[in-house]
A and B are shown apart, each in its own frame.
Chain A
Amino acid sequence: MSSPAPAGDTRTAITRCDGVLFRRSLMGSLIWLTANRDKVNQLNVFPVPDGDTGTNMLLTLESAIEEMGPDENSDLSQVAATVAHGALMGARGNSGVILSQVLRGFSQGVGSHASVDCKQLAHAFEEATAVAYKGVTKPTEGTILTVARKVSEAAVVKAQDTEDIADLIQSVVSAAQRAVDDTPSQLAVLREAGVVDAGGYGLMVILEGFLKTVKGQEIPTTSRASRAPAAPKETAKVGAHALETPEEGWGFCTEFLIERPAKAFDVVRAELTPMGNSAVIVGDDQLVRVHIHTLDPGGLIAHATSYGPLQKLKVEDMTRQHHDILAQEPPDADQVPGPAAAINGHSATGQVGVVAVAAGEGFRRIFEELGAGVVEGGQTMNPSTEDLLEAVTASSADEVIILPNNKNVIMTAQQVSSLSDKAIKVVASRTVPEGISALLNLDPAAGLEQNSAAMASALKGVQTIEVTHAVRSTSVNGLKIRNGDMIALVNGKITRAGKDAREVMDGALEGLKIDAFELLTIYAGAEVPDTEAEEVVGHVREQFPKLEVQLQRGEQEHYPYILSLE
């Protein structure tokens, strides 16, 4: 098996990539991404303090690499699988989640090969792309997905006329660079902003770092990527934000365990994997855990039963219903639980738990008081899949609803269900007020499906205004925004900019049909003293005498005010 050859013309061709080369190269990727993190972050030109693409991808990659542990392993199939798992656990933000899917697909593409040649490596890239696309319900071109696709296409072509891994990666990097340059022509928001897609750029950096190691080049720890991204111009929204978050997925999410299967684990995995999508089949010859999205759960289950009895079988219609067909449930288990826990006689402790993502001590208290487990994070630090998984595991409930409370955390939350034995639903709350509104609709004794539906519909009942500091100068929706300006976002859209928090808040409120609402809750941020918050409340009460106005301390950072109208 080959190891990196010296740089320059004299190097000998590397014809196979094994676990050691992959490990070292991926570490090169990490160093190169670390060096370029700020560059990637700067492409995140939406001027709100938000989870940064570069940081999210870096933390995801770090988690992937940590998972490999200190020892080198020459078996690529094992290393790639380990990396995929680590990335999935550490995935943060939408770009991190997609990166984790790329690595998962790569691992699937490698299959059980201890090392791969160029053609097999190209195949792994193809799988990486396929899995990444599947991870997103409505794939958007001009994003990291497009870059991944161009990379795998280039790899397949190049693999026809080279046996040198370095040559192949070189073509792949060139393709990535071209694809990144093309993203503005595919995505209007990038074109207007005069920037390239941040996630795509991050992937390109990762591949560049990989190539440098394969070629045996020393990687500078502070340098720039081969091409600096165009400087952000006016009106900007980065591709990561433009990516459509998957709403519900498709088909049936089917999960079960097989204890001591009649066939070897590898055979089980090989046979079941093609029977659906997003297959996560883990375990060993003693116990296999299967998670597959399939349009034909019946066929899948019938086949799987040939290995032995299935346990913890769960089939979830990802667009509609959720059926627990646990074998141990009595036959009359289709009785729907009552609308709420009886106070007399029964315990009202819910069997549906909630995990909410929130930043700020005040918000934490509110969520906890309403019975949710809280994962710190949100606006500036997106929690990882593992952070969410831990909170889900810590919940005493077997069925858990996750409230991401941030659009950049939704995809991460959606990764959790494949990693947990618990039944999990993500109610896609994009703001903290939406999350609170949803949580108030939790019915302690109703089931997971009923609750997630009721909570999802409660999201529509609340309007969110967020007031924050612009973190860069730009122009959005015709608004000129200078770094340090106050901006108001209504349901995530920047609608006002100005010098003063109160002024932009007023403007945002005026833009809404206030008569249609009864209650305005103002959540004051950590930076706002009580006296100022009370002044603001008094001012809003004067402006809108019919509205009930409540003041709460959210104690959130970066956002002096978050308002909820319902």
Chain B
Amino acid sequence: MTRIVVDSTCDLPESRMRELGIEMVPLQVHFGDEAFRDKIDLDEDAFFKRLEKATQLPTTSQPSPGDFEEVYGRIPEGEPIVSIHIAHQLSGTIQSAKLAADAMPGREIHIIDSGNTTWAAGLLALEAAEAVQAGKDLNEVITHVEGLVPRVRLLAVLDTLKYVVMGGRVSRVQGAIGGLLRVKPMLLLVDGVIERMPPARTWGQAGQKIVQDIEAHGGADRIAVIHAKAPEAGQTMKKTLEDSLGVDGILEGTIGPVIGTHSGPGAVGVAYIAKQAG
């Protein structure tokens, strides 16, 4: 049976991964000299508590090829692997995965760049695991997931651009935008590229912008609303989407330590698989 491997930034809950037989390779989070394996040595609560007190922002680093070899090696030989990861533009994780796969010539390992991260990559992993459970063979699973990559979108509403700027993902000039007015910066991640959207001044405006994005892409096959220590804002966002789009079955999740390092606390995101790419 085909097995699915993800990295820890996909932010799927451990229980769900266990249920679906998904294996996870952790990234690293560093507070000063202290290094933690994401989700293993450091859960979200502990992470955000430390983040609040930290005088210096934490840094993150990709898993080593050895970390991947270890996880791939845990999977019995003969079971092909589909390894779905954070966009190569955002992290060197996929590079490590490729090196590991090259070092294991006997294994059938297919690596897919999700072009995304957190639950947007997580949704692809869910789709892959469910396809496996539905009895699809390796090629069908790969074709299915690769077809979804250009359709998966992540929209994030940040409480502040501070973390994303300090993490080097957005330039300082762009980070200066709207400081005086305390706007809610919005980012869009699709195909590995982070784009700045016009900011919102209120959660209501932010929700409507996301609704418009979903509608502009023909609706969504699957939606997840996620948050970084902002459960209320997450619930409001979920309700906005349910009311405006008339859909149910929206998944709920959280933003983990690695992505949380860049989004900062207070962020809310919507990951979805659009009916139409573009």
* A503 shortest CB reach to chain B, Å: 27
Binding stretch for chain A, among B40-48, B139-147, B172-180, B250-258: B172-180
- A88 nearest CB across to chain B (Å): 34
> Which residues of B from 50 to 106 have beta carbons under 8 Å from A?
89
Q: Which residues of A contact B204 (CB under 8 A)?
A: 518
Known: A370-B178, A436-B181. A566 touches B194 (CB 8 A): no
Q: How far is the CB of B61 from chain A (nearest CB, A)?
A: 19
The chain A residue sitting closest to B204, CB to CB, is A518
Contact of B205 with A566 in the complex, beta carbons under 8 Å: yes
Whether A345 pairs with B202 at a CB distance below 8 angstroms is no
Interface size bracket, A side:
20 to 34
Closest B residue by C-beta to A439: B198
Question: What residues on B are CB-neighbors of A345 within 8 Å?
Answer: 89, 193
CB contacts (< 8 Å) of A566 on chain B: these are 201-202, 205
Q: For residue A348, which residues in chain B have a CB less than 8 angstroms away from its CB?
A: 171, 173-174, 196
- A454 in contact (CB, < 8 A): yes
Contact B194 A342 (CB under 8 A): yes
- Interface 1/0 per residue, B164-193 and A, CB below 8 Å: 000001110110111111110001100011
CB of A543 within 8 A of chain B?
no
Q: In the assembly, what is the distance between CA of A550 and CA of B202, in Å? A: 12
A366 to B181, CA, bound (A): 7
**How long is the Cα–Cα vector from A461 to B201 in the complex, in angstroms?**
11
Contact string, A524-549, partner B, CB cutoff 8 A, digits 1/0? 00000000000000000000000010
**Complex interface: chain B residues within 8 A of A342 (CB):** 193-195
Q: How far in angstroms is the closest Cβ of chain B from A103?
A: 40
Residue numbers in B under 8 Å from A349 (CB-CB): 173
Given contacts A348-B196, A519-B202, are A371 and B177 in contact (CB under 8 A)?
A: yes
**Chain B residues positioned under 8 Å from A440 (CB to CB):** 178, 181, 183, 198-201
For the complex, what is the distance from the CA of A339 to the CA of B197, rounded to whole Å?
Answer: 8
A340: B residues at CB distance < 8 A: 188, 195-198
Q: Which of these binds chain B: A62-70, A201-209, A441-449?
A: A441-449
Does A302 sit within 8 A of B, measured CB to CB?
Answer: no
Q: Contact between A454 and B180 (Cβ–Cβ < 8 Å)?
A: no
Tell me whether A370 and B195 are in contact in the complex, defined as CB-CB below 8 angstroms, given that A518-B204, A519-B201 are known contacts. Answer: no
Closest chain B CB from A455 CB (angstroms): 9
Contact of A369 among B169, B171, B180 (CB under 8 A): B180
Residue among B173, B174, B193, B195 with the most chain A CB within 10 A? B195
Judging by beta carbons under 8 Å apart, are A548 and B202 in contact? Answer: yes
Q: How far is the CA of A33 from the CA of B155 in the complex (A)?
A: 58
> Nearest Cβ in chain A — how far from B34, in angstroms?
29
- CA separation between A365 and B180, bound complex, in Å? 8
- Structural contact, A369 and B192, CB atoms closer than 8 A: no
Asked if B198 and A343 sit within 8 Å, CB to CB, the answer is no
List of 6 A-B pairs having minimum Cβ-Cβ separation, nearest first? A340-B195, A518-B202, A343-B194, A342-B193, A441-B198, A519-B202
27 contacts between A and B (CB under 8 A): A338-B195, A340-B198, A342-B193, A343-B193, A343-B194, A343-B195, A343-B196, A344-B192, A344-B193, A345-B193, A366-B180, A369-B176, A369-B177, A369-B179, A369-B180, A370-B177, A436-B181, A437-B201, A440-B199, A440-B200, A443-B197, A444-B196, A454-B198, A518-B204, A521-B201, A552-B180, A566-B205
Residues of A within 8 A of B (CB): 338-345, 348-349, 365-366, 369-371, 436-437, 440-445, 454, 461, 518-519, 521, 548, 550, 552, 566
Name 10 extra pairs, CB < 8 A, besides A369-B180, A566-B205.
Answer: A343-B187, A344-B194, A348-B173, A348-B196, A369-B181, A440-B181, A440-B183, A445-B195, A518-B204, A521-B201
